[in-house]
Chain A
Amino acid sequence: MRADESTEGAPAIELREVVKRYGGAEGLGPVSLAVPAGRTVALIGPSGAGKSTLLRLVLGLVAPDRGEVRLRGAPLRPEDHAARRRLGYVVQGGGLFPHLTAGRNAALVARHLRWPEARVTARLEELAALTRFPAEALARFPHELSGGQAQRVSLMRALFLEPEVLLLDEPLGALDPITRADLQADLRAIFASLGKTVLLVTHDLAEAVFFAHELVLLRDGRVLQRGSLDALVRAPADPFVARFVHAQRALGLPPGAPP
């Protein structure tokens, strides 16, 4: 990392005029977005708004057609494996490898990096406690886990190398309501205790409000508005923002959420 490309004050994640097109009209951008270190930002918006594409651009899983992605001020290069290890990624359903046990899934990269076995074991125990995952279930295969457990393993895997940033793509999307409520509370506690930068994708406004300091509303590949729920409600940037917020509020926000 060169000094002129990275400063302590640089945003953890920054997109500068990023454009990504898939075939026809749909796609992303141009989008500019900066996520300051230590903040939790939620990307919300309807399906097809480009939320997941944005996360995958940050991970370098897809390359931008124009513009650039910076991590801590340093431009992200293609296939930058070391940079990816500074990001933890959790997808809907967990994305666990079916041929590996929960423990092996979580420690896959650490073992690839030849961590000593004692250190791997210690880290596994630590993370199981943090994510409230039963230690005896570490020997189980993904298909033997419940949906909530799989998601906790996915979180352990994402956190294993102590990344600076967590990227979560609909982490609670595939869960039943009770499991969802449990995990939601646990996740917020974890985010708070670790103080990491979190970029969360959800289509659910209530969930976004529950986790995030700030909301970013996307539609058709562009940022419509950024701010707190309060700002989105009181001063919607355009009629769609108002419609999106009201439609979701009509479904009812969880108790304790800001009005």
Chain B
Amino acid sequence: MFWETKPLFQVYYTELSKYIIALLIALYTYEGFAVFRFENEDKRANIYIRQNILMFLIHLACFISIYFEKNEIEYLFFYIFQLILLYATVIIFRTVYPRLNRLLLNNICMLLSIGFVILTRISFIRAQRQFAIAAASLIIALLVPFIIRKVSFLKKLTWVYATAGMAILSAVLILGQSNLGSRRIFTVAGLAFQPSEIVKVLFVFFVAGALYKSANFFQIFTTMVAAAFHVVILVVSRDLGSALMLFVVYILMVYLATGKWWYLLAGIVGGAFASVLAHGVFSHVKVRVQAFVDPWSVIDNQGYQITQSLFSISRGGLFGLGLFNGNPTAIPVVDQDFVFSAIAEELGLIFAICVILICLSCFIMCMNIAIKLNDKFYQLVAFGLGIIYITQVFLTIGGGVKFIPMTGVTLPLVSYGGSSVVTTIMMFSIISGLYMLKYDEDKVKKPIDAESESDGKKKRKKQERP
């Protein structure tokens, strides 16, 4: 049997585009950090425009590869729809909210477009679904900063968030369907939800609400009980990733609110103790740990997924095998938990590391915003959401490369998963909304003072630099 024929140009294109794509994403990533050299959004404007251009070039370069391989008109249309969505997002958000933090917006678009590319390669149908959900989420996200500005009672709903969170998680545990060995899917009116995603946001609001005023020991204790309840339900539901995320965000928020490092220490010790306990009690925890410690000895069963992921990562080399030239679909659930490995295989290690750095750039910007906010409740919310995000990125990538045990969470905005995309876009739009809220307040209260304060910060920053 002979191999199928390919147009002469395709082989050249696949081989050469690898290097171009790696270069473009490296430039994009560099710009994502170059932003932090400037305090002022206006001075960052050129960087943002360059980022947008780079994003569209990367997106185009990848879709040419896909079109060469598939050669079907549907793919061309799909590309055009994506182009419209990404372009519209960049333009409309900027127009509606001139003071929006554009690094977050650009990174969201970049990560979404990477997700579209790799999902189109893995499964065209799923990519289309992802596209629809992303489009809907972005439309809703347009309203979020507006709501944040108008609604002032957010910080008073502390126990509403907690009750809602616990109720949702309990309902899922009792009624939910088992998905890949963990109870976390909830079907409402034919649409499958993963409610733990939305609970993450509620949880951050709850902890922020409970701790933003002077937090005494009793408050910390009651918060702890409620937080522990969340985590335990998630562990029992076998959703270890979400359990870990809530745990990490809780101890870090307590540390931030109280400023007492021994809360942090107690949290880490308690967490370690709880992990050992969970390892002893729950068989599904044991399985994960075994697949981490020595996947090669159980390569046919528990170790299959992780070893296939490791093969995938090792196959690509620095520049990847090129789209459709690898075999990432050999990894079970590649489009959700192991999308990073698929990227590393076909787009290369350089590209994959850039994805990590783009995620990190989002996180640093969230922390930057948290520092700049005036209100402690909002500070805690921005901080908490940022921690949730970066912890999730760490869990999914670290798990897929055997840096830590696998917990089965998605790579936000890139992996296939409606609830994940919706929630992540909401999280970032809340943070953006808070940022704009602060800007509004500064402007109304003391425009001069705000100016001088930001000047002062700039000076401090300069001094800090060696």
| A and B bind | no
